[in-house]
Amino acid sequence: MRRADDELFDFPFLAGFECSDHLLADGRRLDLLGSTCHDRFALRDYTRMAALGIQACREGVSWVRSEPRARSYDFSCAARRLRAAQASGVHVLWDLMHFGYPAGVDLLSPAFPSRFGCYARAFARFLDAHGDGPVVITPINEISFFAWAGGEVGCMNPFALARGVELKAQLVRATIEAIEAVRSVIPGARFLQPEPLIQIVADPAHPRTFRRVECDNLLQYQAWEMLSGAVWPLLGGRASYLDLLGVNYYPDNQFMLDGTTIERGDARYRPLSSMLLEVHARYRRPMIISETGTEGEPRAAWLRYVCEQSLAAMRGGCPLHAITLYPILNHPGWNDDRHCHNGLWGYPDVDGERAVHLPLRGEILAQAPRLRAERGRLLQTPAPNPACEAPAQ
């Protein structure tokens, strides 16, 4: 990773290691770092991705593992991966919370934001002591999805119902506490805020739902608006908290109110390039696609589509710096433990070797020079300073 805003990454693809560690409704806690064996084979995984040219990745610290007792921190799991990354020449962008949190933490309690800030400060001190490069932190992954899943429909921790907006406000407050805590230790740290990029499609047979669809589409921006202070200013948001934008985009991110997926090829399907340009027009911030991928044989074709649309958005002026292959490793399904064939590499053997999905590998190598060339052309124009420019309204 480079320090200058005008070229954040040397290679246009990042790797994303699935690291969810939240509780499910049946009482099970996920541990994707463990079930993919990435925690055991990090050095091999990083070496493998670096050999392909991928020099940076998204990783989860795991708050669950790192705070075994209240305000007592153990970053040994992250330390092993940090050493492996340093040995491989790989830069890690760290998620502080990827949906999971220690037992005893109440996300809806007034004490939660400051508790999260203490954890963020402790991790910043660890990085300051052991790291050796630019620091990029995601305080909380996908605030909007987390608030919906955990606060509105209760399908993951904290299993609340009809409290989604309340939970979103709590997560925003905690993010602000984390940013301030990290900056107090590492003033030059950068912050990535990933959110799902969605398009809800109206049903012409139900015109009375059109306003609801319009409102729900705008709600995807609410967390960013809260962080920037554009809405709910009493939360303490300001423009400098909205630094690097991440958009997470998958084949099922366009749908109708009843949940019906709008498939690519449908006349109602909105081009991804148009959606990226809309985000750029609203916020004028450096952006990455912070997650994208699909299962099975369409993996290469999906990446080709995302790259073509990214190139179109860049030609339209969108400062897109990288595309994150997420996940980079196959993993067990959240709810059924099935083997999800959605990564570039599969499950490991006893020595940590992983089979590669050759069509996806070929697509990465084919698209990388095109993305680099377009990014180089686009980034000759200096990006705006996120500390000085307020988000477009």
In a domain, 300, yes or no: yes
> Helix crossing, 272-283 with 299-315: angle to 10°?
40
The C-alpha atoms of residue 260 and residue 78 are separated, in whole angstroms, by: 39
In a domain, 231, yes or no: yes
Helix intervals (H) in the chain? 32-35, 42-52, 63-66, 76-88, 112-130, 143-146, 164-185, 210-219, 222-228, 272-283, 299-315, 358-378
Tell which residue, 35, 93, 31, 37, has the closest CA to residue 63. Answer: 31
Residue numbers of the domain that contains 44: 13-378
pLDDT tens string 368-385? 999 999 999 987 765 454
- Which amino acid is it at 371? L
Q: How many domains does the chain have?
A: 1
pLDDT tens string 174-212? 999 999 999 999 999 999 999 999 999 999 999 999 999
In a domain, 393, yes or no: no
CB of 321 closer than 8 Å to CB of 9: yes
- What is the token pair recorded at 294? 């699909």
In a domain, 336, yes or no: yes
Q: What CATH number does the domain containing 49 carry?
A: 3.20.20.80
CB of 217 closer than 8 Å to CB of 199: yes
Is pLDDT of 350 > 90?
Answer: yes
Q: Please give the share of the chain, as a percent, with pLDDT higher than 70.
A: 95
CA-atom Rg of the chain in angstroms: 20
In a domain, 383, yes or no: no
In a domain, 392, yes or no: no
pLDDT tens string 219-273? 999 999 999 999 999 999 999 999 999 999 999 999 999 999 999 999 999 999 9
The C-alpha atoms of residue 265 and residue 268 are separated, in whole angstroms, by: 8
The C-alpha atoms of residue 154 and residue 162 are separated, in whole angstroms, by: 9
Predicted model pTM: 0.94
Tell which residue, 61, 47, 41, 50, has the closest CA to residue 1. Answer: 50
Q: Are strands 320-325 and 254-256 parallel, antiparallel or unpaired?
A: unpaired
